[in-house]
Structures are given as C-alpha cells and as structure tokens.
Structure 1
Amino acid sequence: MTSSFLQYLQGSKNSPGERKLVQKLDFFILTFCCLMYFLNYLDRSNLTNAYVTGMQQDLDFKGNQFNQINTVFTVGYTIGQVPCNIALYYIKPRIFFPSCMVVWAALTMATAAAQHPRDIMAIRFFQAIFESSTFAGTHYILGSWYTSSELGKRSGIFTASGLAGTMIGGFIQTGINSSMDGLGGLNGWRWLFIIDGIITLPVALYGFLLFPDTPQNTNAPYLTAEEKALAISRVPEVSEKTPISLSFLKHCFSTWYWYFFTILWIIAGETESFSSNSLLALYMNAHPTKKYTKAQKNNYPTGVPAVGIVATLFWATLTDFMGGKRYLVGYWIAITGVITSALILAYPDRTSIHFGMYYWAGSVYACQATFFAWANDVLRYEEDSLRAVVIASMNMGSNAINAWWSIVFYGANFAPYFVRGMWAMIAVSIAMAIWTALLVWMQVRTERRREEGGVYVSHGAVVNKQSDEVDEGQRVGAV
C-alpha cells in the first residue's frame, strides 16, 4: 500500500518521454493557472478585507449594500461562464486568459477611486464577467491535457492556489494598513486595490508568451513534435469541436451529465456558504461584546482558507490514488455541514465553538477540485464542447443560485449568528449526501452500459465492437 502510494505521488509513466512531458505541462500550465487563480481570489477576498478595515465607513455603506455588491458580482460571474468557455474554441487560451486578466486588473485598480457603494457595484459587475473565465476555463484546460489518474492532484493544486489568495489577502491588507495608510492621501484599503491590479499584469504577460493552449492546437516552443503527438494520444479521441447550434443544445439537454453535474455543483456551492460569504469576518465585525482590532479581523479568518488548502490537497490526492472515487468528498461535506451548523446553533454564546466550526467548515472547499475532476473524468469520452459546456454550466448554476442565496440566508444584517443560514446549511448538506448517491448510481449505470454489449464511445456516438457500426442517434450519456 505504502509503496504504491509513493509510486502514485511520483507519477511514474509507461510511455517513453511521458514523465518529461508531464513535468513540462505541470510547470507551464499549473504555474500560470495557479497564479491567475491566486490573483483572482485575492481580489475577491480583498473586498471583504477592505470592507472591515475602513471602506464601510469611508463610503458610508448602509444595510445590505455589501451583500448587494457581492450579488452584482455573482450575476456578472454567472453571465460570463458559458460564453467564456465557448470562447476558448474560437480564441486561443494563450490570448484569451491573459486578455481577461488585463481587463480585470484595470477594473481592480479603478475600485480605488470609488466614492460610493454604487461605484463598486458597477465595477464589480464587469470585473466578474472577465474573472469568470478563470475557474471553469482552467478545469476545461486541465481535462484536455491530463489523464484521469493525474487530474485530481492537479485540480487540487489549482484550487488551493485560489484559497491561498484568500488567505494571503488578509495579511496583505494588514501590512498595507500599517505601512501605506494615508500615503499620497489614500486610505489603506484603496492602496490594496491598486497593488492587486499592478501585480496581475506580469502574470498576464507570462501567459501571453508561454501558455500552451490545448494539445490539438499548441505551438508551445518548449514542446517537441514527439511530445505534442504524445499529448494528443494520452487522452481519448473525441471530436475536437461541435458547432454551437440548436442540435448541439438538444444533445446537451438529452444527456444526464448536464442535469446531474449542474445540480451537484449548485448544492455544493451553497455548502461553501460559511467560507464564501466570509461569515467568520462578519461574525467578528458584528460581535456584540468583543471588539477585534483591524489586524485581528484580517488575520484570524485566514485560518479558514488554510484549512481549505489542506483539505483540498488531501482529498484530491486521495481520490486520485483510490481510482477516482470523487464521491467520497460529497459525504464528507454532508457530515461537516450538519455538525458545524448544529453546534453553532446549540452554542450561540461560545466564541470558541464558532471559531472552531468556521475553521472546520473551510474543509468543504475540497469539493471544488474533486467535483470538477469528477465531471472531467465522467465526460472524458464525450465531445470536448459538451464537457466545456457542462463544466461552465456547473459554475453558472451555482452562482445563479448564490446571487440571491447569500442575501436571503447570510446577509450582513444577520450577523453575528446567522441562524437562518445555519438551518439552510443543514438542509443543503443532507441534499448533498442524497444527490451524491444518485450521481454515483448514474455513473455506474453509464459505465456498465459502455462495457456491456461490446460498445465503446467514439465522438460521442455508440459504436458496436463487432460490426463497427455507428449509431449517431444513440449515445451512452442519454437519459
């Protein structure tokens, strides 16, 4: 057991040159995508950091305006999901990703000039559209290059980079407040957005120059002709592109993949609500008896993404090693959501319980890497376009629900106890356990149909092994 696990971690390869190829992919794909996602999440988390360290007072926020800004961002983020993933068919990722980064960097710096909450609402809406390219788009790219035994670990590293952005953002804001507050007549929170935008630009330039696109169209100078051919051979042969048309949409909605994975991520997205809505920071900011310093408000919540990073890497690596049993994370999330919410409800006056449960809830972030790797695994034998749309739809569906969910259940006016949100968390956690079991059943049924009767999948169509006859109307993924 130990030796096989060590061999897995080393990533031993059978094909000549495959280890060297994967090392190159890890360096050039993961470094860019992780830096991109790190900066993406740094920007998102720093809105909360700015809010609790002066922006609320400087811009005279009222009521739920902070949550409304997050909702506006979510709406823009939702709108951008599917169009951004489809754009990857027509614009090379090497051009598309960095271009989006340049635009959102400019908008981030523009936030420093905001004079009213409505200014930030307008900026964040357009910023969200361009930032929406990162998460789903990267998972599509990872699924295009890596095998199923490699995917979970890489997805975990990518997701952890975003959580690192959330965690480090608090420390950055603390440092800026202590050293730059008032510099040039600007408050510390304004400098935060200026610095965020500036450090994004070199990463965008790196992507322009060295990102390898996809195996079928890469012109990366560091890949030899043999390595490009090997990269194509490592993943199943599927149709390179399906035109976005009415027939394609009918095909999407005739498979179980779209429905089941979209609903899975809708539920999973709401099980992340404690962390994604920064409840610990809001709890500290609104505590009725304890008053926390600016440094404490920025630094203490960083424990939440720290737990998320550890959980993400642990579960992503474990499920890879266990042959892709990504569904185990669904059951972990269900247990975590029920217990943490119940204890917060049971002990409203125990600060230590609240801190402990919010930190534990950070482990739910593990579902980001594992569930998107799960979708990539299951859709590996389908058209690339279907995989791209399903992955984008997962994130789109989750954000569409979260646009109003956070206000209804986790509005800042519900701080510090969020009683309504605790009951909502218990409900979605139970739903997660049920839906995970249903999705596993559908996956097993599909794989059995693929194996029984001597069929395999070619370009999304069922092909009989004995006759090699193709039935374009019958697809393994059909409900």
Structure 2
Amino acid sequence: MGFIEYLRGGQSAPGERKLIQKLDFFILTFCCLMYFLNYLDRSNLTNAYVTGMREELGFKGNQLNQINTVFTVGYTIAQVPCNLALYYVKPRIFFPSCMVAWACLTMVTAAAQHPRDIMAIRFFQAMFEASTFVGTHYILGSWYTEKELGKRSGIFTASGLAGTMIGGFIQTGINSSMDGRSGLSGWRWLFIIDGIITMPVAVYGFFLFPDTPRNTTAPYLTAEERALAISRVPEVSERTPISLRFLKYCFSTWYWYFFVILWIIAGETESFSTNGLLALYMQSHPTKNYTRAQLNNYPTGVPAVGIVSTLFWATLTDYMGGKRYLVGYWIGITGVITSALILAYPNNTGIHFGMYYWAGSVYACQATFFAWANDVLRYEEDSLRTVVLASMNMGSNAINAWWSIVFYGANFAPYFTRGMWAMIAVSIAMAIWTALLMLMQFRTEKRRQQEGVFAAGTGKDTDIIAPDQGGEVTRSDVKA
C-alpha cells in the first residue's frame, strides 16, 4: 500500500480524494516541518549540554533541569492564549510569525555566556513554541474526519520525534566539522544552524497554509473543495471563547477535567524520554566512558522506537474505529515493567539501554490522546475543543515544571531511583484513568444516540443545536 493510500484510509469519492491529497500535502508538510524544527531545537539543548556546553558555561548541579523548568513555565503560560489567538489571527500568519520569533531566539542562544542567559532565552522561546503542538491538533481536527485523524496525528507527532532523533546526528556532524570555526564551539554552531533552517519553513507557511475550512483563502482549493471541506465535519455552534459565560460552560462539562487529567498523567509517563535519561545515564555511567559521538548517537534509538510506536498505534486505532484507549493500557504496562527492571538490575547496562529504548514507545500517547480528544469533542463547540486541547498541554507542563526536578534531576544520574518509583505510580494511574474516561465517553455517546440528531456529513449522532434563552445559538449540552 502506497503512502497516499495509507493516508486515505479507503476514501473513494473522487472529489474528496483530491481534496484530501491537497490537504495532506499543504497541511502535513508545513505542520510536520514546523514540529520537526520545534523538537530539534528542544532536544539540541541536551545534545549541546553533553558535548561541551556544560563545561564551557560552568553548569553546576541540576541547572540543566532548572532551564528545562523555566522553558516549561513559559510554554505552559502560553498554551491557552496561543490556541485562542487562532480565533483572531489567521493560522497562516500566526504560526509563521511564532516560528520566526523562536528561530531568532535560538540563534541568540549561541551567544550565551552563562546558564542564566540560556534560562532567560528559553523562557521567551517557549512562549512562541507553545503555538505548535496544540495549535496543529486543533487544525487537524478542523479538517479531517475521525477515520482520517489518527494517522495524521501520528505522522505529525512522528515528525517531532524525528527532530529529536536527528538532532543527535546533526550535533555529531557539527562537532566533527565546525567545532572551533570562527572561534565558536560546535554546540554554538548547532543553535545558529537550527535558527537558520527554520526561516524558509516559516515563509512557506505564510504563503501556502490553508487556515481552517470556514476561513480558508488557499489559492489551490476550488470553491467546490472549500464547500466539501466544510461539509465533512459537523456543523457546530459558536460563541466567543473570551467571556464569563463561555468559561462557565467550559467548566460545567466533563470533557475539560477528564482530558486535562489524562494528559497530565500521560505527560509524566514520557519522563524517561523527555528528560533525556539515557544520555544522562551514559554520561554518568559508573564504569564506562562514552565518546561525544556515542553520547549523541546512542540515545537516538529512543525517538526511533517512538516513531514506530506512534505510527503503529495511530494506524491501529484508526482501523479499529478510534479505540484510542488501548494506548493508555499499553503505557501502563510499559511504565511498570521498564521501571521495575531498572530498579531490579541497577548494574546491568544492557537492561538499562533496553528499558530506555522500550520506554520510547510511550510517545504514542501524543498522537492518540489528542486524536481521542478531537474525536469526542467533534460534536461540541469549536471554542470548547480549542480550550480543552490547549488546557491538556498546559496542565501537563504545569506539573512537569517541577516533576522533572523532583524525580529526574541530572544530579540523580545514573540510576534515578526516585524517578523509577514515580513512573510505576503514574503508569498504574494511567490504566485506571483510561478506564474511567472510557466510561464517560460511552455514557455520552449513548445519550447522543438517544437524542437522535446526526451531524452533517458524518452520519453520526450529535447534539441538538438550538437558541438559548439569550437568543445565542448553542448546542444542548451533553453531560454524563
């Protein structure tokens, strides 16, 4: 089966097939390149740290974790504002503008002379990078149907993991070819090159990104294709996302609470990978000394496993009709087993490598859980879907701001014993919460079927759209 057929998932209508091909090309290429560069930048901080930056800037203790925490704080603060901004600024303007800003800040990192300099730069950089992940999931949910969404979310997430994986190889190449050129260390050249290669992608997005179905002016979409794109997703009511009435409505539904907590737990199950534990384990190994190339290259196996796992689970859950909850159970099993074996065999290097690689499969939750939220919220107001998606990432990063320091500080290397026990706890919590969310989804879908109103273009039951007492068009809320 070819790549296009894989994306189509059996789509047969001629007009729809052509539309999807165009969407896949222009949306996925830009969003995947944007996320690739986003993650390349993030992962390269650790790559730089283990290949000269620590010594040159005089890092001490867990200052690397403190920088990551400051980044997380900025990223968290900007989550909801960035997603709401997509209501007021066209995505083809907003996304590229944010890219240009973070590219400039990435290049400025090359001039840092102290860890505190990087700390300040990363805070503002995070605020601009916050637009990428949840903003793209909002866009994907706006264009694609439930049968198409999982694979696209998976490809998007895999592009970020590719940035993490390739970052190590790029750093190795720069160290061997550019270290010392023009008086700059290899890790400084890394940030300069990162910033430069981001700019052309921003220009591409400015001219060719299609925005959303209802406001697109993309020159490559005909009037018929625009109408078809609107008809493919449920027609939902709208209310302004910045109002007290909307906030009350948002917090009166179960969606916000359940999906935010789901992603808080899921975010911490990714801790082995997101905190670069394998690289830190290698750097602090009690008996072995690894070369710079090994420190950069060996950890790339973790995101490689993540890419395979992401695409596998995204495809499987699409094929099985959107059973995204399966990934929650996989995460629970993976987290308990990998942590337990690392605790049981602290001096076995092979087991540590194997478990850290296996833990990379947990990355599958990024695509499937945000696709899950898009699936469930497809029949709710668009503004509610926007806020829930952004709040999921905001909640996760708010916890991760201190979680990584408490459990996975660089000073805990090489064994991270405290973090292993924390991983076992959150993995068990993941399995339990997945079961509870499944129950809430089942009850909501059952009630939608009883109300017997189907969504345009989907053939599935949804809520009744009617004016409220103030004359505002809203949907009757479905609460379990």
Please report the TM-score for the alignment, with normalisation by the length of structure 1: 0.95
Q: CA deviation at 1:356?
A: 0.1
CA displacement, residues 196-247 of structure 1 (integer Å, 9 cap, x when unaligned): 0000000000000100000000000000000000000000001245341000
- For the residue of structure 1 that corresponds to 2:86, the secondary structure is helix
Give the direction of change, closer, same or farther, for the CA distance of 1:457–1:449 in structure 2 (3 Å limit). Answer: farther
Match of 2:283 among 266, 282, 285: 285
The whole-number CA distance in structure 2 between the counterparts of 1:323 and 1:400 is 32
What code does the residue aligned with 2:171 have? Q
Match of 2:133 among 135, 158, 180: 135
Q: CA deviation at 1:13?
A: 2.6
Match of 1:162 among 160, 164, 176: 160
- For the residue of structure 2 that corresponds to 1:404, the secondary structure is helix
Q: CA deviation at 1:386?
A: 0.3
What code does the residue aligned with 2:159 have? S
Gaps of 5+ in 2: none
Give the direction of change, closer, same or farther, for the CA distance of 1:179–1:19 in structure 2 (3 Å limit). Answer: same
What code does the residue aligned with 1:209 have? F
Aligned to 1:76: 74
The whole-number CA distance in structure 2 between the counterparts of 1:338 and 1:189 is 36
Q: Does 1:96 align with 2:79?
A: no
Q: Is the 8 A contact 1:270 1:428 kept in 2?
A: yes
Aligned to 1:332: 330
Aligned to 1:478: 479
The whole-number CA distance in structure 1 between the counterparts of 2:209 and 2:253 is 33
Q: CA deviation at 1:478?
A: 2.7
- Runs of 4+ in structure 1 deviating by more than 6 angstroms, as ranges, are 468-474
The whole-number CA distance in structure 1 between the counterparts of 2:450 and 2:240 is 27
- For the residue of structure 2 that corresponds to 1:399, the secondary structure is helix
CA displacement, residues 329-354 of structure 1 (integer Å, 9 cap, x when unaligned): 00000000000000000000000000
What code does the residue aligned with 1:294 have? R
What code does the residue aligned with 2:138 have? Y
Q: CA deviation at 1:454?
A: 3.3
Aligned to 2:405: 407
Q: Does 1:392 align with 2:393?
A: no
The whole-number CA distance in structure 2 between the counterparts of 1:72 and 1:64 is 13
Q: Is the 8 A contact 2:138 2:386 kept in 1?
A: yes
Match of 1:454 among 439, 452, 455: 452
Aligned to 1:421: 419
Q: Is the 8 A contact 2:7 2:152 kept in 1?
A: no
Q: CA deviation at 1:172?
A: 0.2
The whole-number CA distance in structure 2 between the counterparts of 1:30 and 1:7 is 15
Q: Is the 8 A contact 1:462 1:470 kept in 2?
A: no
Aligned to 2:367: 369
Q: Is the 8 A contact 1:461 1:475 kept in 2?
A: no
The whole-number CA distance in structure 2 between the counterparts of 1:232 and 1:469 is 22
Give the direction of change, closer, same or farther, for the CA distance of 1:390–1:238 in structure 2 (3 Å limit). Answer: same
Q: Does 1:59 align with 2:87?
A: no
Q: Is the 8 A contact 1:89 1:241 kept in 2?
A: no
Q: CA deviation at 1:381?
A: 0.4
- For the residue of structure 1 that corresponds to 2:464, the secondary structure is strand
Match of 2:259 among 258, 261, 285: 261
What code does the residue aligned with 1:463 have? I
Q: Is the 8 A contact 2:447 2:478 kept in 1?
A: no
Q: Is the 8 A contact 1:457 1:476 kept in 2?
A: no
Q: Is the 8 A contact 2:7 2:148 kept in 1?
A: no
Instruction: Calculate percent identity across the aligned residue pairs.
Output: 83
- For the residue of structure 2 that corresponds to 1:413, the secondary structure is helix
Aligned to 1:351: 349
Give the direction of change, closer, same or farther, for the CA distance of 1:52–1:96 in structure 2 (3 Å limit). Answer: same
Q: Is the 8 A contact 2:463 2:478 kept in 1?
A: no
Q: Is the 8 A contact 1:147 1:234 kept in 2?
A: yes
Q: CA deviation at 1:462?
A: 4.5
What code does the residue aligned with 2:236 have? V
The whole-number CA distance in structure 1 between the counterparts of 2:138 and 2:79 is 12
What code does the residue aligned with 2:163 have? G
Give the direction of change, closer, same or farther, for the CA distance of 1:12–1:457 in structure 2 (3 Å limit). Answer: closer
Match of 1:314 among 312, 315, 318: 312
Q: CA deviation at 1:10?
A: 4.5
- For the residue of structure 2 that corresponds to 1:17, the secondary structure is helix
Q: Does 1:303 align with 2:301?
A: yes
Give the direction of change, closer, same or farther, for the CA distance of 1:22–1:477 in structure 2 (3 Å limit). Answer: same
- For the residue of structure 1 that corresponds to 2:378, the secondary structure is coil
Aligned to 2:340: 342
Q: Does 1:45 align with 2:46?
A: no
Q: How many residues align?
A: 471
Give the direction of change, closer, same or farther, for the CA distance of 1:142–1:84 in structure 2 (3 Å limit). Answer: same
What code does the residue aligned with 1:454 have? G
The whole-number CA distance in structure 2 between the counterparts of 1:330 and 1:100 is 32
- For the residue of structure 2 that corresponds to 1:133, the secondary structure is coil
The whole-number CA distance in structure 1 between the counterparts of 2:141 and 2:301 is 30
Pairing of 1:18-29 with structure 2 (within 5 A):
18-29=16-27
Q: Is the 8 A contact 1:98 1:207 kept in 2?
A: yes
The whole-number CA distance in structure 2 between the counterparts of 1:161 and 1:39 is 9
Q: Is the 8 A contact 1:29 1:212 kept in 2?
A: yes
The whole-number CA distance in structure 1 between the counterparts of 2:451 and 2:324 is 27
Match of 2:436 among 432, 435, 438: 438
The whole-number CA distance in structure 2 between the counterparts of 1:168 and 1:469 is 52
The whole-number CA distance in structure 2 between the counterparts of 1:62 and 1:469 is 60
Q: CA deviation at 1:475?
A: 3.7
What code does the residue aligned with 1:364 have? V
The whole-number CA distance in structure 2 between the counterparts of 1:373 and 1:56 is 38
Q: Is the 8 A contact 2:165 2:301 kept in 1?
A: yes
The whole-number CA distance in structure 2 between the counterparts of 1:478 and 1:24 is 37
- For the residue of structure 2 that corresponds to 1:238, the secondary structure is coil
Match of 2:9 among 8, 11, 31: 11
Aligned to 1:188: 186
The whole-number CA distance in structure 2 between the counterparts of 1:475 and 1:14 is 34
What code does the residue aligned with 2:381 have? E
What code does the residue aligned with 1:179 have? S
RMSD over aligned Cα atoms:
1.9
Q: Does 1:203 align with 2:201?
A: yes
The whole-number CA distance in structure 1 between the counterparts of 2:365 and 2:115 is 32
Please report the TM-score for the alignment, with normalisation by the length of structure 2: 0.95
CA displacement, residues 66-89 of structure 1 (integer Å, 9 cap, x when unaligned): 000000000000001000000000
Q: Is the 8 A contact 2:8 2:17 kept in 1?
A: no
What code does the residue aligned with 2:317 have? T
